[in-house]
Amino acid sequence: MLLDAATPVTCRPGAAFLARRAGVPIVPVGIRYAWMRESQATILVRLGNPLDQPTPEELGQAITGLLAQIDSDTRAEDLAAYRRIIGGGISLQHLWDRISGRGG
């Protein structure tokens, strides 16, 4: 399901139940595919602070907050807080620039 920043994430109690049984915290994760200025998507991931025995509502709020932060960073084209893990191939724009002699 695709969500925009205005759509709150709704969580079910399963993750909290399993974490409580295992005695571990839950780390909320926000993931977005962003089509910045390239013809290839950039996958942005933000990790939240570990939550001890959150309610489904608290977990949903944490994930919603992470997605809103990713959306804000993407709109501002501010990716300083993100680390590149895997480099993809060349984008169509960069390929065209190379072919046409406009770029390196």
User: What percentage of the chain has pLDDT greater than the value 70?
Assistant: 85
Phi/psi region, residue 101 (left: phi>0; alpha: psi -120 to 50; beta: rest), is left
Tell me: the pLDDT tens digits for 52-94? 989 999 999 999 999 999 999 988 888 898 888 876 666 777 7
pLDDT value at 95 more than 80: no
- 3 state SS of 30: strand
Tell me: the pLDDT tens digits for 43-63? 899 999 999 989 999 999 999
**CB burial string 39-50: b at 16+ within 10 A, e below:** eeebebebebee
Specify the length of the chain in residues: 104
Across the range 5-12, mean pLDDT stands at: 81
Which candidate, 73, 55, 75, places its Cα nearest to that of 65? 73
CA–CA separation, 43 and 31 (whole Å)? 7
Q: Record the pTM.
A: 0.75
Q: What is the mean pLDDT of the chain?
A: 84
**CB burial string 5-37: b at 16+ within 10 A, e below:** beeebebeeeebeebeeeeeebebebebebeee
Supply the pLDDT for residue 69. 93
